Amino acid sequence: MKKSHIPSYLDRKWFMPLLTVAVLSVILLAMLTLGQSKISSAAEFSYERPSFLALDRSFGSGNDRLGLPKLPRLAYLLSGTSGDGPRLRRLLQAVYHPRNYYLLHLDLEASDAERLELAKFVKSENVIREFRNVMVVGKANLVTYKGPTMIACTLHAIALLLKRAKDWDWFINLSASDYPLVAQDDLLHIFSYLPKDLNFLEHASDIGWKENQRARPIIIDPGLYHAKKSGVFWAKEKRSIPASFKLFTGSAGVVLTKSFLEFCVWGWDNLPRTLLMYYTNYLSSPEGYFHTVACNHKDYQNTTVNHDLRYTKWDNPPKEHPMNLTREHFNDMLQSGAPFAHRFAKDDPVLKKIDEEILRRSDGQFTPGGWCVGSSVLGKDPCVFYGNPNAVKPTVKSKRLEKLIVKLLDLENFRSKQCK
């Protein structure tokens, strides 16, 4: 990507005031997530205001009698941009489960008509109306590619989920170009055996080339103070590597615990706010913010698992983006054991292969699970009729994920890769 330097009229006299405005803007944006942010309650789209139901219907006591661990709940952010409405619908159907919570966000590049169409889809699904566990963001955020508005948007989503859904365990962020490699029944089953304080994020302190291309440059994201998207500005000045905290970098895809994210949002320690100010001027802040917060605080350094639970394929040498996954990567995806994969081109044929062979999902239907009690004869959607949302029936495919988790949590492998 070609660097665009700050225009000449932004000389040193004006640079620091502008930098201050940018920093204050992102802090203010993060604070707004706790207060007056406007969600698309679907009232904006002329239907009933969505709310999350507490789905504590029968699983707890019954499961205790069986001697099995309690099922977790997952909170998803599914995000996209202009033209991604159909991809988000497909992704939602692929990862949907009545126990989980879902927040859908089309950024400001998408039109109001696209958001309305997405909200209408959510309203039209009887299952979603019954369990009321899906929200669509009505007042979209402007998200600049590789700018700090990306992390501000994620923090916004986390704050909304903390406010509207009180009983989830892990947060998972997926983009429209991501797709699951396991059914939710399998994922919930395996996660039910995990300690609730494990944070999955690929991370390293040896930032290598990112020192000169990420940490030392100073960028300003116009999305913090403009309503129209444009590229980031680059300052001529460089900054030194921080001395009061250690930088960590990794993948933007994360699976993070509710307790850790409460710490990041509510911030009873000043570390999350300090780092948020630093990452305001850092290129690709989602690749470092959560990683640096976790690894610089004694309460969370030992909770990290050095894996983002995504299958990703890179060119050699790596390019700016990972490769688009195709059919030729299908077997490697399966063997990885990862529950998600990044990234796919729109409607690539491999997605249909994943639907058919892994998720057992037909086009336009939900991924079936123990909660679906209808018949799939003649291509009918078995999830049109639903029973107990806590009925989870893991399949033999969950063994691949189990194998990956066991490997990641092996004592020699686990501790040696934490925040190093």
Query: For all residues of the chain together, what is the average pLDDT?
Result: 85
Rg, Å, the chain Cα set:
21
248 close to 208: Cβ distance less than 8 angstroms: no
pLDDT at 137: 96
CB neighbour list of residue 186: distance below 8 Å, 6 or more residues apart:
339, 394, 395, 397, 398, 401
Task: Dig out the tokens for 246 from the structure.
Answer: 């250690």
The Cα-based distances of 303 to 110, 188, 389 in angstroms read 37, 20, 30
Distance between start and end Cα atoms, the chain = 30
Strand segments (E) across 324-365: 340-342
pLDDT at 46: 25
257 close to 196: Cβ distance less than 8 angstroms: yes
132 close to 52: Cβ distance less than 8 angstroms: yes
Question: Of 361, 363, 362, 385, whose CA–CA distance to 372 is shortest?
Answer: 385
Task: Dig out the tokens for 237 from the structure.
Answer: 């000045």
The Cα-based distances of 350 to 154, 328, 372 in angstroms read 28, 9, 25
Q: Low-confidence residues of the chain, pLDDT below 70?
A: 1-66
pLDDT at 317: 77
- Residue 249 β-bridge partners: 204
pLDDT at 207: 84
Domain ranges across the chain: 12-416
Q: What does the alpha-carbon distance between residue 242 and residue 224 come to, in Å, rounded to a whole number?
A: 23
Question: Of 9, 17, 37, 21, whose CA–CA distance to 225 is shortest?
Answer: 21
Q: What does the alpha-carbon distance between residue 119 and residue 135 come to, in Å, rounded to a whole number?
A: 8
Sign of CA dihedral 130, 133, 139, 145: negative
| pLDDT tens-place string over residues 146-190 | 899 999 999 999 999 999 998 999 999 999 999 999 999 999 999
pLDDT at 66: 61
CB neighbour list of residue 323: distance below 8 Å, 6 or more residues apart:
313, 314, 315, 329
pLDDT at 366: 97
Unique residue bearing structure tokens 């939900």:
366
| pLDDT tens-place string over residues 233-290 | 999 999 999 999 999 999 999 999 999 999 999 988 999 999 999 999 999 999 999 9
pTM: 0.85
Q: What does the alpha-carbon distance between residue 324 and residue 304 come to, in Å, rounded to a whole number?
A: 28
Q: What does the alpha-carbon distance between residue 123 and residue 106 come to, in Å, rounded to a whole number?
A: 17
